[in-house]
Amino acid sequence: MNWDKRTLFGLAGAVALSLGLAMPAAAQTQPPIRIGVLVALEGAFAAGGADAVRNVELALRQVNHTAGGRRIETVVAPSDTRPDTAVRQARKLIEQDRVDFIIGPLSGSEGIAIRDYAKTIPDRTIINGISGALEMTWVDPAPNVFRFNLDGAQWGTGLGRYVVQNRGWRRIATVAADYSFGYTNFLGFAVDFCRAGGTIVQRFWVPLGATDFGGVIAQLPDNVDAVYLGMGGTDAINFLNQWQQAGAGTRIIGGTIMADQTVLTARGRAKEALVGTLISGPLAEDNPDPAWQTYVRQYREAFPANQRFPSPSLFGTGYYIATQAAIAGLNAVNGDLSDGQRRFNAALSSLRLATPLGEVSLNENRQATGTVFVNEIAEGPGGTLVSRNVAKVDGVNQTLGLTAAQFRAMGLPSRTNPDCRALGGG
Amino acid sequence: MALTDKSRDQRAGTPSGSASWPDLVMSIPAGWWATGCILLIMPALASDFWLFQVFGWSFCLGIIALSLMFLAGYGGMVSLIQMTVAALAGYMVAILGTSGVQQISLGLPWWLYLPLAILIAAAFATAVGALAVRTEGIYTIMITLAIASAFFYFTRQNYEIFNGYSGFNLVVPPRVLGIDWRQPTAFYYLALVFAALCFLAVVYVARSPFGLALQGIRDNPRRMAAMGFNVVAHRIAAYGFAGVIAAIGGILLVWQNTQVAAFTAGIGAVIDILIIAVIGGLRRPIGPFVGAFIYVLLGTFSPDVLSAFGLSNERFKLLIGLGFLAMVFFSPDGALGLWDRWREARRRPVDPLTGQARPGSVP
């Protein structure tokens, strides 16, 4: 974002080096704090990534680009949701752009790769953007990685219990995307659903980016109360189209990204199948909490209508909260990042951060505990679809209410985990 | 194509047994010595980021593109399978060696899994070659692209062996001689040495009887067949040799990334190797390395260039695309073509007596 001389020197250095000249690393200037923003600006989540950049800017504007008495500069490093690109760009931020810490990444597999990279840079800090991979802060977590958003499994919590207890949907079949976020988000739903006594009749996994879902739709059993659909973006739209052509049929329970803005604002009739769908996630658009309402208003005022979403996206909100956390941490240590950022890390660990989504605190794995919202998709004014909040669960922790030992015994998210019967379901 | 190759080859001297060492040393142009020395002392000049991220990555991609250059430049066969072969070698290192996915990785010692990985990848390349050499031109491209796509979708959905979408992480080089080969300087020298070895191997093979026969087959397969050369066997062998080179590049690339997954050999990555070879130049083995360096520089610094002009850096791919377009537009034969034309222009000086261009100075 902010362009400065050092990056220019870096470029000039690039030219000099290619000519075989020496390029001494530019000396570090002390006063401003440099934050690297690692974000996907290419691929399936590019629109969400652009919203993330806007939200980092918004959070910094609110504090006049100053925290802990020092000016803040940002460097944006674009990735394409591939883990190797994320690590490359993180390395560029740390080694070439000499940032003090990184906010990011955006997607699940990137998060796991960044966790491993973080262990090689113990003197720098990484505050997760919106990566939802459980493994990032659960399996062998890095001491300098902090996540102030809930993970994909936490996002699924609350929905399972709600559909069993409030709607009486007890027998379901599931169709979800065959990759890490698909498993993780499904696990969160299934743990809750099975513990409330639900039964998963059959599980289907569809590859990311598939176009023909006819086979799966034909195999879906008839004697179920609802179908869980855990897909996102164009996969969700394609599935719904074919689902309607095949006669739709039953009710839908959605994964967190099944009914996000990209699906709800899509053209065509496919989205109509979503009316009445129940989904869960970290935010509710009609959340009456003043903190959320203020945030939405500030977001709308900060950017012209054609350069933003009608309301902050999931991705944008994640980066906004991460930036808020960074600012709060810097204020707590008066901008002192010496001693390998130990004091800054300690301050981050003990933050009780007031965010638009409610108060967030971190556990011993530096993973957030917070609120999950259950929303229902309904018809809004002018044929649009809106999501209405129907329930919320406060204080959802990393182990989804199980003890750490129980959660560990269940195994990591995969095609076959969790075992519904072992959790009390069928 | 062939004419330039041969004149250059003669000037550089052939590495035959009869040439004595001083002759051999003298026959290598001064520019090569200078480049070699600069590359050797680079760790004293450049930062870790440049060593590992820019040069290390360039060498890995350059080696893989070199295998394509060998097939396309000397054999006249544009194969899109090279990245897939490289990824297969990387997968084999992860599966046979150690990785973060302990249920699948077998944990064999490095002296066993490295040769095995290269062998399996080369066998795969040879098998694909056996299929592809029955086609010509665009059909070779099609069939290799089809196999590359099939491999991508297979690895993405196969969980028993290839671990699907997630692939393998924490694939690191073995500690040999007590050195952590993933430290920037160590990895730089590792990649440099293998890049140099692969480069020399291609130069050597291109001048060997096999390489000369291959170039003959490229220029006129029917005449070569009439002279008693087995055209199909030569082409398949070329695929096998290129497979070994691609495998070495693939293993280095996986070590650099510490991970391998389906998208390592996705369609984008497969096409990138072709782009690297084309922008570098397909005529000589140094081309792919030049191309890889340009590719890495553009990929790494184009967001910064956009920000420098106060533009939003979301559009950095536009700059990369324009860079490649300009390259191909101004020099259809890549960066090497530009270099050759520049030298040619210099070699045609004005006659000091007449003030006119000296006739017959075209090399």
pLDDT tens digits along A28-61: 345 789 999 999 887 777 888 888 999 999 999 9
Residues B131 and B111: their CA atoms lie apart, in Å, by 31
pLDDT digits (tens, 9 = 90+) for B272-297: 898 888 888 888 888 899 889 988 88
Closest by CA to A152, choosing from A131, A173, A138, is A131
**Nearest chain A CA: its distance from B83 CA (Å):** 16
Whether B49 and A96 lie within 8 Å, measured CB to CB: yes
Contacts of A388 (CB under 8 A, 6+ apart): A286, A375, A376, A377, A378
Is the N-terminal amide bond of A105 cis, ω within 30° of 0?
yes
Mutation test of the interface with chain A: which of B157, B166, B187, B254, choosing the one with the most A Cβ atoms within 10 A? B166
Residues B337 and B252: their CA atoms lie apart, in Å, by 28
In the predicted structure, residue B361 carries a pLDDT above the cut 60 = no
Using pLDDT thresholds of 50, 70 and 90, give the confidence band for residue B26: low
Closest by CA to A167, choosing from A195, A201, A190, A198, is A198
Residues A249 and A255: their CA atoms lie apart, in Å, by 19
Whether A179 and B45 lie within 8 Å, measured CB to CB: no
**Nearest chain A CA: its distance from B223 CA (Å):** 44
A141 with A170: CB under 8 angstroms? no
> What pLDDT score was predicted for residue B175?
82
> What pLDDT score was predicted for residue B333?
78
Q: Decide if B21 is inside a domain.
A: no
> What pLDDT score was predicted for residue B119?
94
> What pLDDT score was predicted for residue B318?
79
Using pLDDT thresholds of 50, 70 and 90, give the confidence band for residue A412: confident
Whether B304 and A18 lie within 8 Å, measured CB to CB: no
* H runs (alpha helix) in A289-382: 290-302, 314-332, 342-349
Whether B307 and A76 lie within 8 Å, measured CB to CB: yes
Whether B303 and A78 lie within 8 Å, measured CB to CB: yes
Least confident of A49-63, A159-173, A251-265, B300-314: B300-314
pLDDT digits (tens, 9 = 90+) for B147-173: 999 999 899 888 888 887 778 888 888
Ramachandran region, residue B310 (left: φ > 0; alpha: ψ -120 to 50; beta: rest) = left
Q: Decide if B31 is inside a domain.
A: no
* Chain B residues within 8 A of A84 when measuring between CB atoms: 257, 259, 264
Q: Decide if B241 is inside a domain.
A: yes
Residue positions counted in chain A: 426
Residues A210 and A230: their CA atoms lie apart, in Å, by 13
Of chain A, the percentage scoring pLDDT greater than 70 comes to 92
pLDDT digits (tens, 9 = 90+) for A78-131: 888 888 888 888 988 998 888 999 998 988 788 888 998 898 888 999 999 998
Q: Decide if B329 is inside a domain.
A: no
* Chain B residues within 8 A of A108 when measuring between CB atoms: none
Residues A56 and A317: their CA atoms lie apart, in Å, by 9
pLDDT digits (tens, 9 = 90+) for A252-272: 899 988 877 767 777 777 777
Whether A96 and B303 lie within 8 Å, measured CB to CB: no
Using pLDDT thresholds of 50, 70 and 90, give the confidence band for residue B4: very low
Q: Decide if B313 is inside a domain.
A: no
Residues B2 and B152: their CA atoms lie apart, in Å, by 35
Residues B145 and A94: their CA atoms lie apart, in Å, by 37
Report yes or no: B267 at the A interface, CB cutoff 8 Å.
Answer: no
Report yes or no: A208 at the B interface, CB cutoff 8 Å.
Answer: yes
Is the N-terminal amide bond of A418 cis, ω within 30° of 0?
yes
Domain count, chain B: 1
Q: Decide if B237 is inside a domain.
A: yes
Of B258, B304, B316, the CB nearest to A116: B258
A256 with A279: CB under 8 angstroms? yes
Of B47, B156, B169, the CB nearest to A95: B47
Query: Pseudo-torsion of CA B64, B68, B70, B75, nearest 10°?
Result: 160
- In order of B7, B11, B202, the CA distances from B16 in angstroms are 17, 14, 15
Residues A121 and B221: their CA atoms lie apart, in Å, by 56
Report yes or no: A422 at the B interface, CB cutoff 8 Å.
Answer: no
pLDDT, mean over chain A: 84
**Residues spanned by the domain of B69:** 43-288
Chain A window 48-107: which residues touch B at a Cβ cutoff of 8 Å?
A: 49-50, 53, 76-78, 82-84, 87-88, 91-92, 95-96
Q: What are the residues facing A385 on neighbouring strands?
A: A379
Closest by CA to B249, choosing from B10, B19, B70, B20, is B70
Using pLDDT thresholds of 50, 70 and 90, give the confidence band for residue A187: very high
Of A1, A8, A82, the CB nearest to B263: A82
> What pLDDT score was predicted for residue B61?
93
Distance of CA A400 to the CA centre of its chain: 17
Of chain B, the percentage scoring pLDDT greater than 70 comes to 87
Ramachandran region, residue A42 (left: φ > 0; alpha: ψ -120 to 50; beta: rest) = beta
Mean pLDDT of B48-62: 88
- What φ, ψ does residue A189 adopt, rounded to 5°? -65, -45
How many beta-carbon pairs under 8 angstroms link A with B?
Answer: 96
User: How many C-alpha atoms does B141 have within 13 Å on its Cβ side?
Assistant: 8
Mean pLDDT of B48-77: 90
> What pLDDT score was predicted for residue B353?
65
Q: Decide if B2 is inside a domain.
A: no
Whether B307 and A3 lie within 8 Å, measured CB to CB: yes
Using pLDDT thresholds of 50, 70 and 90, give the confidence band for residue A18: very low
pLDDT, greater one: B52 or A5: B52
Using the structure block, give the residue that is written with the tokens 């990184």.
A102
Of B46, B153, B297, the CB nearest to A23: B46
Using pLDDT thresholds of 50, 70 and 90, give the confidence band for residue B14: very low
pLDDT, mean over chain B: 82
Contacts of A169 (CB under 8 A, 6+ apart): A163, A198, A225, A226, A251, A253
Helix, strand and coil percent figures for chain B, each rounded to 5: 70, 0, 25
Report ipTM for this prediction. 0.75
Chain B window 181-220: which residues touch A at a Cβ cutoff of 8 Å?
A: none
Mutation test of the interface with chain A: which of B153, B255, B304, B313, choosing the one with the most A Cβ atoms within 10 A? B304
In the predicted structure, residue B51 carries a pLDDT above the cut 50 = yes
Q: Which domains does chain A have, with CATH numbers?
A: 32-150+290-366 (3.40.50.2300), 154-281+371-423 (3.40.50.2300)
E runs forming strands in chain B: none
Residues B272 and B266: their CA atoms lie apart, in Å, by 10
Mutation test of the interface with chain A: which of B38, B49, B295, choosing the one with the most A Cβ atoms within 10 A? B49
pLDDT digits (tens, 9 = 90+) for B96-134: 888 877 778 887 888 888 999 999 999 999 999 999 888
Q: What counts of helices (H) and strands (E) characterise chain A?
A: 15, 15
Contacts of B90 (CB under 8 A, 6+ apart): B117, B171, B250, B251, B253, B254, B260, B264
Whether B166 and A179 lie within 8 Å, measured CB to CB: yes
Using pLDDT thresholds of 50, 70 and 90, give the confidence band for residue B358: low
* H runs (alpha helix) in A250-289: 261-264
Where does residue B222 rank: exposed (0-12), middle (13-18), buried (19+ CB within 10 A)? exposed
Report yes or no: A8 at the B interface, CB cutoff 8 Å.
Answer: yes
Using the structure block, give the residue that is written with the tokens 């028993």.
B160
Residues B184 and B46: their CA atoms lie apart, in Å, by 11
- In order of A46, A128, A156, B150, the CA distances from A149 in angstroms are 19, 8, 13, 37
Chain B window 46-65: which residues touch A at a Cβ cutoff of 8 Å?
A: 46-50, 52-53, 57
Of chain A, the percentage scoring pLDDT greater than 90 comes to 24
> What pLDDT score was predicted for residue A1?
42
Q: Decide if B343 is inside a domain.
A: no
Report yes or no: A415 at the B interface, CB cutoff 8 Å.
Answer: yes
Least confident of A369-373, B57-61, B183-187, B357-361: B357-361
In the predicted structure, residue A424 carries a pLDDT above the cut 80 = no
> What pLDDT score was predicted for residue A319?
94
Q: What pTM does this model have?
A: 0.80
Whether A11 and B308 lie within 8 Å, measured CB to CB: yes
**Nearest chain A CA: its distance from B46 CA (Å):** 6
Whether A76 and B159 lie within 8 Å, measured CB to CB: no
